[in-house]
Structure 1
Amino acid sequence: MKLKKYTDYALRVLIYTASVPDGELANKKDISKVFHISENHIGKIVHELNKAEILQTIRGRSGGIKLSKHPSEINIGQVVRLMEGDFEMFECFSKDDNYCIITPACKLKNIVNVALKEFLKVIDQYTLEDLLENKSELQNLMEVDN
Structure 2
Amino acid sequence: MKINAFADVSLRALMVLAAAPEADLLTTQSVADAVGTPYNHVSKAMAKLRMLGLIDVERGRNGGSRLSTAGRRVTVGQVLRHLDTREDPADCIAPGGPCPLIRDCRLRGALARAREAFYRELDDVVVATLPASAQMTPVFQAIGMRPGL
Q: Among the aligned pairs, what percent are the same residue?
A: 24
Query: After superposition, what is the alpha-carbon deviation per residue over 1:93-113, rounded to whole angstroms, capped at 9, x for unaligned?
Result: 9xxxx8222223543223212
How many angstroms does 1:118 deviate by?
A: 1.0
- The residue type equivalent to 1:100 in the other structure is C
Asked if 1:117 corresponds to 2:116, the answer is: yes
Instruction: State the alpha-carbon separation in 1 of the partners of residues 66 and 72 from structure 2.
Output: 14
Equivalent residue, structure 2, for 1:145: 146
For structure 2, the 5+ residue unaligned runs are: none
Query: After superposition, what is the alpha-carbon deviation per residue over 1:75-107, rounded to whole angstroms, capped at 9, x for unaligned?
Result: 2111111222235222349xxxx8222223543
Equivalent residue, structure 1, for 2:107: 108
What SS does the aligned partner of 2:56 have?
strand
Q: CA RMSD in A?
A: 2.1
The answer (yes or no) to whether the contact 2:74–2:126 under 8 Å persists in 1 is yes
- The residue type equivalent to 2:85 in the other structure is G
Instruction: State the alpha-carbon separation in 1 of the partners of residues 83 and 104 from structure 2.
Output: 32
TM-score (ref. length: structure 2): 0.82
The answer (yes or no) to whether the contact 1:19–1:138 under 8 Å persists in 2 is no
Asked if 1:128 corresponds to 2:127, the answer is: yes
Instruction: State the alpha-carbon separation in 1 of the partners of residues 72 and 31 from structure 2.
Output: 22
The answer (yes or no) to whether the contact 1:54–1:67 under 8 Å persists in 2 is yes
- The residue type equivalent to 1:120 in the other structure is Y
Cα distance change of structure 1 residues 109 and 121 upon mapping to structure 2, 3 Å threshold: same
How many angstroms does 1:9 deviate by?
A: 0.5
Cα distance change of structure 1 residues 74 and 105 upon mapping to structure 2, 3 Å threshold: closer
What SS does the aligned partner of 1:10 have?
helix
Equivalent residue, structure 1, for 2:66: 66
For structure 1, the 5+ residue unaligned runs are: none
What SS does the aligned partner of 1:115 have?
helix
Runs (4+) of structure 1 moved beyond 6 Å? none
